[in-house]
Structure 1
Amino acid sequence: MAQSTKCLILLAVIALFFVTEIIPLAVTAMAGSIACGLLGFIPAKQVFSGLSNSTVVLFAGMFVVGAAMFYTGLAQKIGETVVRFTGTGENSLMVGVMLVGAGLSSVLSNTGTAACLLPVVLGVCAAAKIPASTELMPLAFACGVGGIITLVGTPPNIIASGALEQAGYRAFGFFEFAKIGIPLTLAALIYMMFIGKHLLPKRTISEDTEVEQEIEANETSSTKMAVSGIILLAVVLTMALGIKGVTLEMAAITGAIVSVLTGCLTEKQAYASIDWVTIFLFAGMMPVSSAMSKTGAGKVIAEWAVGLMGGTPSPMIVTAVLFILSCGLTQFMSNTASAALLCPIGIAISKQLGADPAAVLMAIAVAASCAFATPVGTPPNTLVLGPGGFKFMDYVKAGTGLVIVCFVISLILIPMFWPFFPGK
């Protein structure tokens, strides 16, 4: 049996475990990496090479910097301030909740943002006698789509950028995702205001509803809030300006160190804030990506996909097919896993066509964040499930339309900003 065939079988097994989550995602990814070494797809010394990848360091640093805002209470304070300005009307509150959710998620963990704003929204809804269900799902959706705006907003963005760089192409810039992320965020806001809210159930939550918060009680003070905000701003500006000699991971880790030294969070809290599932999932899939390239499995998939698309598919067809595939997978499996699985395939297809893979990988990354149609597609969706009293079909009804809106906008904008055949 050819090595490419063996690798394809392994990839199918990995995909099956990702979708079903019979075993933890991180375990699947690392086991897949080990299998690549045992089967001779990659040298044994490369099996754990993903753990030394600079992107892993970037992940860890930003997890800590983001957590500092939650532990000091700054993120919650921002949420409360926005609610004060928007008032307690159902529509105005939705606008405020979605804007702050998307804004914070663009540079912080979308899960942490949702967890932080959840009790704020519940409290306001209970006091104003507004059905919490009409505000919580918009919050979850905003946290999901807001992450698209910057490079560090959500793991798929970093994975796509890293895959480009690893393949020898120019990586995406820090704010380059904003070209598609901001329009999608505004579209999500408009959709929920005029269509989505009518598809949501109206379930009122009583005032004594208790929400379990993941934020531990620090000696919170206005000084620490200010410090955590300044640290985040400094890190983001450093990354955005592209200062010579200062890499993204250096900026992130420096910010994490300063967060601990200034007491914004303890060393123990810093370690606890790192999402190790994301770290090991990414690190495990890097060697698998290399194996796909070295064995020719990626090329086989690319040739098959191109054949299905007519042999010489247009940029629109390629972008549409991979968007649908990535979006479909992300409704039931980790968006990080979806992106890690499809980015190498996207690059292989692009090479097969002699095209720039930027548009394809952008479509994959964006689609991986459009997990609106199920409660298990992304953590923010799961977080609001119980407090909002939602059922599975509530997500299908309200989220499917938003997925379609994002799909249409992406098909229009992605080829414009990232030409499939630049210069032609």
Structure 2
Amino acid sequence: MASSSCSSARLAPARARTSRSATRVGYNGARPLARRHVSASASSSSIVVAGAAGQTGVRVVERLVERGFHVKAIVRDADKAKETLDAVMANAKSGSVEIVKADLTKQKDAEAIRAALEGAQAAVWAADTKSLGIVPGPLGIAAMAVPALRGMVPKPKADFTALTNFLDAAKEVAKPNFRLAMLTSAAVTRLGWHEDKQKHLDSVVDIPIVRLNPFGVLDVQREAEEVVRTYGISYAIVRPVGLKDDDSWPPARPVLAQGDVLVGRANRRDVADVLIAAATLPECEGKTFEMATITGYPPNDEGLAPSADLLKTDKERVAMGEDLGLGAVEYDATSAGEAFVDANRIAASQLLPGMTQDATKLEMGRTYEQLDRGEVNRESGTEATPRERALAATGSRRWFAPPVPNQDRER
């Protein structure tokens, strides 16, 4: 595939490896590939990954090729992506990767994106929030450190052109049973809940990074989810908690929840597995759910289908009366939907990484381990500390590039 707006390169597996002997650090040092993360038709299917060169996107590509898929990887910088994906293919059993150079935000690349989606079985949207119009300027960065400036920062203007162009192309040229698995973030609905619900669930609302909502990213992602839900395509939306790499939080058992009350850490490889399941398993269709990695437990050998089958569809949750953070004018705490949320909360509140099971006491940039050691002194509901403001100023590029709130943050 080649055009003025698209260049592609086919990467072949460098060596073979049996899936039963593949390992990942995590549970007792090893992680076998689960049997039922995806459907059995991988060898003849292609899956498109938008944002394939990102930290999570590249993990999605890696796991897909291990399962024998042909992956069309949409990236902005093809040369840089090829270096990364060459390493991915070196460990692949089968499958292949076709690099598609295209900027999702540019109309000139629309034909390249359309060509990538031609005949695709599914797609994973792992693009950063720049593709949704979030580009913080100097004032926005400064406001992270100086609260007095926050009122001067204009509300971000979400731009869903890239997303809708992608969805339009998929509806037109992808397979009839095409599904989109969308990566967003835990906490996207919490600030949109009715104020009474926010008070009831303050243990997940009053977390510093959630209250800060940098650059309005939670609001924009919530709106982007609703675009997908109303577009008339098959979808599943995955909301991981704080994203971590193997060195800080090893892969283990992915745990799924609903109600947007899950707090903790998620290994990026596990997030990739869940996104692939969301794109391919019938049990995930039409569902929005959160996920975290629980270390010390092995992944289910049957994959994610049994857990996903227990989740409610978005339509079921609406019918149950759950406040989904879309501006509800009333909050019925006695509804079946809110009872469902409370049940999820009971389980989720016991799964925080630290001994101190209270994420609201964290300062931004501090860990649960530091909280357990008494190195954090923050009461729930207090204003940002000087240290938090200093971190936001001096670490702005580290913490907010790309500006996704669950990136390298405790949630």
TM-score by length of 2: 0.27
Structure with the larger RCO, 1 or 2 (CA within 8 Å, 6+ apart): 1
Structure ranking higher in strand proportion = 2
TM-score by length of 1: 0.26
Structure ranking higher in helix proportion = 1
